[in-house]
Amino acid sequence: MAKIAEGQTLPLEKITFKVLKDGKATDLTGTDLFKSKKVVLFGVPGAFTPTCTNTHAPEYLAMYESFKAKGVDAIYCIASNDCFVTSAWAKSLDAGDKMSILADGDCSFAKLVGLTVETGGFGGLRLSRFSALVEDGSVKKLHLEEGGGYTGVSGAEQMLKDLE
């Protein structure tokens, strides 16, 4: 698929993420996550990587109250890892109820919305770094980081500006 763009609707019925629930891998569908909700969504190439762990995810956690004050129902982070890794990462970040980290271990979401990056020996096919404001499944704002690095384009500060 071509890259998802602002104004498009996510194919909710085709989206499935894994989360760890009561010690078991559990599916969450796009409908479960996005239907009738205002969501801040961001993607990272991998859990426990330095930029994702020290900068990108913590920015969203730090601004949680500001997002809630702007009417955001949920903050979701997608990572190209399995749900056991994303669960451990959420605990290490002390994400609690502030942010759900969704596993896209096979990059099925990344492929579906055209947001893949090939990292070679680092980890192969991964999710591109991005952020989006999604309302009832519709992409209202989209920010893509070029080249796989982090410049702040997909950061929490930019997303909060989009909500003003």
Q: Which residue range forms the structural domain that includes residue 112?
A: 12-162
Confidence of residue 151 (pLDDT cuts 50, 70, 90): confident
Cβ partners under 8 Å of residue 51, min gap 6: 149, 150
Asked if residue 124 has pLDDT above 80, the reply is no
- The answer to the question of residue 22 being in a domain is yes
Total domains in the fold of the chain: 1
- The answer to the question of residue 140 being in a domain is yes
CA dist 150 and 130 (Å) reads 9
Q: Which of 52, 77, 83, 107 is catalytic?
A: 52
pLDDT of residue 148: 66
Q: What is the mean pLDDT of residues 41-70?
A: 94
- Asked if 65 contacts 156 with a C-beta cutoff of 8 angstroms, the reply is no
Asked if residue 93 has pLDDT above 70, the reply is yes
- Asked if 119 contacts 107 with a C-beta cutoff of 8 angstroms, the reply is no
Catalytic, 52? Answer yes
Asked if residue 83 has pLDDT above 70, the reply is yes
- The answer to the question of residue 43 being in a domain is yes
Closest CA to 33 of 50, 18, 49, 20: 18
CA dist 88 and 69 (Å) reads 28
CA dist 21 and 86 (Å) reads 12
Task: Residue 22: give its domain's CATH number.
Answer: 3.40.30.10
- Asked if 133 contacts 163 with a C-beta cutoff of 8 angstroms, the reply is yes
Confidence of residue 19 (pLDDT cuts 50, 70, 90): very high
- The answer to the question of residue 4 being in a domain is no
